Chains A and B, each alone.
Chain A
Amino acid sequence: MLEVGGILSWIHEALSSACPEWLTLLIEYVLIGVGFLALYALIALILILLERKICAYYQCRLGPMRAGFWGLLQPLADMFKILMKEIIPLLKNDKFLFFTALFLVIMGSLCTFGALEFSKDLIGIDFNVGVFYVLAISSLGVLGILLAGWSSNNKYTMIGAMRAGAQLVSYELSSGLSLLAIVILGGTMQLSGLIEAQSELWFLFQSPFTWIAMVIYLIAGHAETNRGPFDLPEAESELTAGYHIEYSGITFGLFYVGEYVNMFTIAGIGTMVFLGGWQPLHIPGADAFNEIMNMIPTWLWFFAKAFALVMLSLWVRWSFPRLRIDQLLHLEWKILMPISLLNMLLMALWVAYF
């Protein structure tokens, strides 16, 4: 009754009874696009408020309190402020690349966001090679960041972009390898198929090696979102703002939003491959318990798990100091990568013998 899937099929039936097929499809595509963009913006706003409040509590402060009750309207106020700000044009930069970079970053973030399955039957992009799609499209952001740093014609953005390039390309390896370990366990690359495979038991409880994969994925994913302790590309105290120094107004705002939603996307993919996505918590054998869990709507399960991972990311973000670039690469290439390769091998053995 609380499922979104029912509403969607009702809309589909209503539309197809009133319009020809091509028009139904067209209207539905537009609706889905608008819906995704709205959700994208909404999640960004929620995350911005959440982060400001959470970090304030870590730091013994109250955070925003003035706009609306308990500061609830603060992200809206921020949004309107940033929309109205002037976009300061630069004199000697490559304008085409400067704005293409922004487009690439947002596109990468939005397309990855589309691959999330928010509840039962609610998935935007569901390829049979979904995991590859996610890995491929999310790396579009690196290109955007590199271009942003290069085209700004500024020494700080340049250093920031180079750091980002080194960091993101490296960490994509271990996040990809840990996802592949799960692909071995689930036996499919389709994201909805992976979730289906967890209907009895979440992957996390199916094999001990999933734990290793999950820890590595969370570390690498956290690094891919450029957030502390891995925020070197924008290291505020070193490079002032890294690759997006020269962006102003909403052009900066889009980088900002992209970063926040990426955090959610990483948490969402983590939820889908390790924590069962929208699947309720099931214990094999305990049928009464499973029935109760099934009564909770699936979208609530998904968002609860994803936000729990987001909270973990915020916790890390506000507790640790920043790594140095050599330590960062050392962590990836000498620690995480060998472990995830080994883990993939062990997972294959586990799947073959158990």
Chain B
Amino acid sequence: MEKTLKMIQSVSSSCTKIEAADVMVSVDKKDLHKVCEALYKDGWDYLINLNAIDNVENIEIVYHISKSADMEKFLVLKTNTTDVENPIIETVSDIWKSANLYEREAYDFFGVRFLNHPDMRRLFLRPDWVGYPLRKNYDNTPNEGIPSKVHDMDACEDVPSITLDRHGEIVENHTNLFGRNEYVVNFGPQHPSTHGVLHLRVSLDGEMIKKIDPNFGYIHRGIEKMMESMTYPQMLYLTERFDYLCGSMNRHALCMCVEKAMGIEIPKRAEYIRTIFDELNRIASHLLGWACMCNDMGSITAFIYGMRDREKIMDIFQETAGGRLMVNYYVIGGVAQDIHPNFVNRVKEFIPYLRKMIKEYHTLFTGNPIARGRMINCGFLKKEDAVALGMSGPNGRASGWHCDVRKIAPYAAYSEVDFKEILHDGGDTIDRYMIRLEEIEESLKIIEQLIDKIPEGDFRAKVPAIVKVPEGEYYQRVENARGDFGVYLKSTGDKSPYRIHFRSPSLVAVSGLDPICKDTKIADLIMIGGSLDYVIPCIDR
């Protein structure tokens, strides 16, 4: 890390190192692009997360960066602009492709415009929305700022961008997303295969896909803003509403983030229980992902099979925690209550059952010549593209990218179990398909190792009645069923956070649709969408 710091200093003299939990560097906004370019050349090719913070006197942009070849390296880069009225910062979307959507999000919520960014539309809110909701001075009285005129779809096609002209003056450009005579079909927001209320504008040439423009925000609830006025235990309940299919893991991330910040040591028993629950949840999520993908390809029987076996996990959850989809089980300091006496036995019964069923899935669907014909050599994603888009998780691993946070930065009881990180190097749809079924088997192995060894003792540490996170910035990653899920927390020592941001692996998965699906057919778009396994509430937050 010292080398990297020296390298940054050689590029930008104004950079300063900030003392914090992670390695954090502050860079002047003039040098930002240069520093990022130098970092990229040094192998820092994975932009994990980008978010903005409104500090009232300035607006800060935080970049979390890592190396795809050496994922344990982790660097936080910061820059800020004091021009709060009209904040402009240079884009990094030409360096890291994944920054494209992140910067649009920052523009949507904070009004930060990015110079040279090709597409400065709002990401979640309507194009005619007034104000920037996550700014501290935003007037959030109901019905203020919500435009009353009828929303015109054509406004979504107007792409503004800002660039510098020859004299260094800022000019605003407008281009049109689609050509005049393009055959644009709206996939969604009500469509059986968009896995929620995703809206894709697809330009077609017959059956061939020319361009895909995702349109988000139909179920945006402003959770990040809501959380700024909530206490930490209250916030936990919302975390499961992002990615409802693997809610426990999201909740785990926030719990660990707060625990790390407050220095709470959680009991071994709770760590084991959390790991088992995480893995069960991962299995449930992968089963549903598999089932939905089969359904997208027209095999409804396979869909029902997946749902049937997932139900068994839901029953196990229900017995211990009371919740099924929203398990609501983890709390800061451990878990809400002890496991049910039947829990261990039921999990043990479930493991051989699911192993048998996975064999059946392979017979029913994987070996099917039509299914193989559809999936093989279709929807190719290169490893470099996966890294550039930030497509971590099963999608990245299907392209051969070692990116499992459970291996990179082990948390809970993952360092104590022996499991394999499944890597495929094909990058095809079939790899993304297979990797989910194989990961289910790995998860079963993890559970098998832990289930007999749950230590006795407390299931919950002593936590102060009012949780106050000490001042500072914290970032916690977990591997959820869709990839690298992160929580960024900035606290001023209050009982609610100053700014909280979540890194959504589904958002990057959708951003990959356009490059992957180019020149494939409509049927492939649906299948590839199923294989990327995105969950829309996680994107919209």
Interfacial residues of chain A within 138-153, with CB under 8 A of chain B in the complex: none
Q: Which residue of B lies closest to A241 (CB)?
A: B192
Is A318's CB under 8 angstroms from B301's CB?
A: yes
Is B183's CB under 8 angstroms from A324's CB?
A: no
Is A322's CB under 8 angstroms from B522's CB?
A: no
Q: Which of A58, A59, A163, A238 contacts B526 (CB 8 A)?
A: A238
Across-interface contacts of B305 in A (CB, < 8 A)? 59-60
Q: Which residue of B lies closest to A318 (CB)?
A: B301
Known contacts being A321-B374, A325-B523, A326-B521, is A235 close to B298, with CB within 8 Å? yes
Using an 8 Å CB-CB cutoff, how does the interface string of B196-223 with A read, 1 for contact, 0 for none? 0000000010010000000000000000
Known contacts being A320-B368, A321-B368, is A59 close to B524, with CB within 8 Å? no
Rounded to whole angstroms, the CA-CA distance of A239 and B523 in the bound complex is 9
Across-interface contacts of A55 in B (CB, < 8 A)? 300-301
Q: At the interface with chain A, which of B66-74, B289-297, B339-347, B499-507?
A: B289-297
Is A155's CB under 8 angstroms from B183's CB?
A: yes
Across-interface contacts of A238 in B (CB, < 8 A)? 193, 522-523, 526
Q: Closest approach, in angstroms, between the C-beta of B315 and any C-beta of chain A? A: 16
Using an 8 Å CB-CB cutoff, how does the interface string of A220-260 with B read, 1 for contact, 0 for none? 00000000110110011111100000000000000000000
Known contacts being A61-B304, A229-B370, A320-B370, is A325 close to B521, with CB within 8 Å? yes
Is B301's CB under 8 angstroms from A322's CB?
A: no
B348 on the interface (CB 8 Å rule)? Answer: no
B373 on the interface (CB 8 Å rule)? Answer: yes
Is B304's CB under 8 angstroms from A231's CB?
A: no
Is A319's CB under 8 angstroms from B364's CB?
A: yes
Rounded to whole angstroms, the CA-CA distance of A321 and B193 in the bound complex is 15
Interfacial residues of chain B within 339-388, with CB under 8 A of chain A in the complex: 364-365, 368, 370-371, 373-374
Known contacts being A229-B298, A327-B374, is A322 close to B368, with CB within 8 Å? no
Is A58's CB under 8 angstroms from B297's CB?
A: no
A323 on the interface (CB 8 Å rule)? Answer: yes
Q: Closest approach, in angstroms, between the C-beta of A54 and any C-beta of chain B? A: 11
Is A322's CB under 8 angstroms from B297's CB?
A: yes
Across-interface contacts of B373 in A (CB, < 8 A)? 323, 327
Rounded to whole angstroms, the CA-CA distance of A321 and B526 in the bound complex is 13
Rounded to whole angstroms, the CA-CA distance of A229 and B298 in the bound complex is 7
A159 on the interface (CB 8 Å rule)? Answer: yes
Across-interface contacts of A235 in B (CB, < 8 A)? 298, 523
Q: Closest approach, in angstroms, between the C-beta of A123 and any C-beta of chain B? A: 37
Q: Closest approach, in angstroms, between the C-beta of B502 and any C-beta of chain A? A: 29
Q: Closest approach, in angstroms, between the C-beta of A158 and any C-beta of chain B? A: 9
Is A321's CB under 8 angstroms from B185's CB?
A: no
Q: Which of B296, B298, B526 contacts A228 (CB 8 A)?
A: B298
B93 on the interface (CB 8 Å rule)? Answer: no
Q: Is the interface of B mostly helix, strand, loop or mixed?
A: helix
Across-interface contacts of B364 in A (CB, < 8 A)? 319
A156 on the interface (CB 8 Å rule)? Answer: yes
Is A159's CB under 8 angstroms from B300's CB?
A: no
Across-interface contacts of A318 in B (CB, < 8 A)? 300-301
Q: Which of A61, A155, A321, A325 contacts B297 (CB 8 A)?
A: A321
Across-interface contacts of A327 in B (CB, < 8 A)? 370, 373-374
B299 on the interface (CB 8 Å rule)? Answer: yes
Known contacts being A228-B298, A237-B295, A238-B523, is A323 close to B370, with CB within 8 Å? yes
Across-interface contacts of A325 in B (CB, < 8 A)? 207, 521, 523
Is A59's CB under 8 angstroms from B304's CB?
A: yes
Interfacial residues of chain B within 291-319, with CB under 8 A of chain A in the complex: 294-302, 304-305, 308
Q: Closest approach, in angstroms, between the C-beta of B451 and any C-beta of chain A? A: 27
Is A59's CB under 8 angstroms from B301's CB?
A: yes
Is A324's CB under 8 angstroms from B299's CB?
A: no
Residue tally, chain B, CB below 8 Å to A: 31
Rounded to whole angstroms, the CA-CA distance of A236 and B298 in the bound complex is 8
Rounded to whole angstroms, the CA-CA distance of A239 and B365 in the bound complex is 22
Q: Which of B304, B308, B365 contacts A321 (CB 8 A)?
A: B365
Residue among B294, B299, B302, B523 with max Cβ neighbours from chain A (10 Å) = B523
B30 on the interface (CB 8 Å rule)? Answer: no
Q: Closest approach, in angstroms, between the C-beta of A269 and any C-beta of chain B? A: 25
Interfacial residues of chain A within 282-324, with CB under 8 A of chain B in the complex: 318-324
Using an 8 Å CB-CB cutoff, how does the interface string of A189-233 with B read, 1 for contact, 0 for none? 000000000000000000000000000000000000000110110
Is A324's CB under 8 angstroms from B301's CB?
A: no
Is A319's CB under 8 angstroms from B526's CB?
A: no
B191 on the interface (CB 8 Å rule)? Answer: yes
Q: How many A-B residue pairs have CB under 8 A?
A: 81
Q: Which of A228, A240, A319, A321 contacts B191 (CB 8 A)?
A: A240
Across-interface contacts of B521 in A (CB, < 8 A)? 324-326
Across-interface contacts of A232 in B (CB, < 8 A)? 523
Is A321's CB under 8 angstroms from B299's CB?
A: yes
Rounded to whole angstroms, the CA-CA distance of A237 and B296 in the bound complex is 5
Using an 8 Å CB-CB cutoff, how does the interface string of A317-340 with B read, 1 for contact, 0 for none? 011111111110000000000000
Interfacial residues of chain A within 50-78, with CB under 8 A of chain B in the complex: 55, 58-61
Using an 8 Å CB-CB cutoff, how does the interface string of B510-524 with A read, 1 for contact, 0 for none? 000000000001111
Rounded to whole angstroms, the CA-CA distance of A183 and B167 in the bound complex is 83
Rounded to whole angstroms, the CA-CA distance of A15 and B523 in the bound complex is 58
Across-interface contacts of A228 in B (CB, < 8 A)? 298
Q: Which residue of A lies closest to B190 (CB)?
A: A240
Across-interface contacts of B370 in A (CB, < 8 A)? 229, 320-323, 327
Using an 8 Å CB-CB cutoff, how does the interface string of A25-60 with B read, 1 for contact, 0 for none? 000000000000000000000000000000100111
Known contacts being A320-B368, A321-B294, A326-B521, is A237 close to B192, with CB within 8 Å? yes
Q: Closest approach, in angstroms, between the C-beta of B104 and any C-beta of chain A? A: 27
Is B298's CB under 8 angstroms from A322's CB?
A: yes
Rounded to whole angstroms, the CA-CA distance of A60 and B308 in the bound complex is 9
Rounded to whole angstroms, the CA-CA distance of A159 and B183 in the bound complex is 11
Is A237's CB under 8 angstroms from B183's CB?
A: no
Across-interface contacts of A240 in B (CB, < 8 A)? 191-192
Q: Closest approach, in angstroms, between the C-beta of A101 and any C-beta of chain B? A: 21
Q: Closest approach, in angstroms, between the C-beta of A281 and any C-beta of chain B? A: 32
Rounded to whole angstroms, the CA-CA distance of A323 and B302 in the bound complex is 16
Q: Which residue of A lies closest to B529 (CB)?
A: A237
Rounded to whole angstroms, the CA-CA distance of A230 and B371 in the bound complex is 13
Q: Closest approach, in angstroms, between the C-beta of B443 and any C-beta of chain A? A: 23
Rounded to whole angstroms, the CA-CA distance of A228 and B300 in the bound complex is 10
Is A320's CB under 8 angstroms from B523's CB?
A: no
Rounded to whole angstroms, the CA-CA distance of A58 and B521 in the bound complex is 30
Across-interface contacts of A59 in B (CB, < 8 A)? 300-301, 304-305
Q: Which residue of A lies closest to B369 (CB)?
A: A320
Across-interface contacts of A155 in B (CB, < 8 A)? 183, 185
Q: Which of B191, B193, B365, B522 contacts A159 (CB 8 A)?
A: B522
Known contacts being A58-B301, A228-B298, A238-B193, is A324 close to B523, with CB within 8 Å? yes
Known contacts being A61-B304, A237-B298, is A321 close to B192, with CB within 8 Å? no
Q: Which residue of A lies closest to B184 (CB)?
A: A155
Across-interface contacts of A320 in B (CB, < 8 A)? 298-299, 368, 370
Rounded to whole angstroms, the CA-CA distance of A191 and B217 in the bound complex is 60
A-B CB proximity, top 9 nearest? A322-B298, A59-B304, A321-B299, A321-B297, A237-B193, A324-B523, A321-B298, A237-B296, A155-B185
A-B contact pairs, 6 of them (CB 8 A): A58-B301, A235-B523, A237-B298, A240-B192, A319-B364, A327-B374
- Name 12 extra pairs, CB < 8 A, besides A319-B301, A319-B364: A59-B301, A59-B304, A159-B185, A159-B207, A231-B298, A237-B526, A320-B298, A320-B299, A321-B299, A322-B523, A324-B523, A327-B370
- Chain A interface residues toward B at CB < 8 A: 55, 58-61, 155-156, 159, 163, 228-229, 231-232, 235-240, 318-327
